[in-house]
Amino acid sequence: MPTTTLKITGMQSDDCLRSVMNAIQDLPCIGCVDVSLETGEATIEHTSMVSEGDIRQIIEDAGYPTI
């Protein structure tokens, strides 16, 4: 399963963390998701049916820019 790691800015609380996790998990074909509030990184396992661009877009749509 491909793995994508993204740096996310703007997360400041557990509510932010939950918002990002929920947004990612709403995408189809997502496996394991690990989002760290401390490092601002998200590591996402997904099938090839989901691109890095799709993941970036859903996170940014939730209000959290990615680097």
> Half-sphere exposure (CA, 13 Å, Cβ side) for 9?
3
The confidence band for 23, taking pLDDT boundaries of 50, 70 and 90, is: very high
User: Domains of the chain (ranges plus CATH)?
Assistant: 3-61 (3.30.70.100)
Q: Provide the token pair at 26.
A: 């709403």
Q: What percent of the chain has pLDDT over 90?
A: 97
* pLDDT, tens digit (0-9, with 9 covering 90-100), for 25-54: 999 999 999 999 999 999 999 999 999 999
pLDDT at 66: 96
What does the pLDDT average to over 3-28?
Answer: 97
- Quick one: pLDDT at residue 39? 97
State how far the Cα of 25 lies from the Cα of 20, in Å rounded to an integer.
9
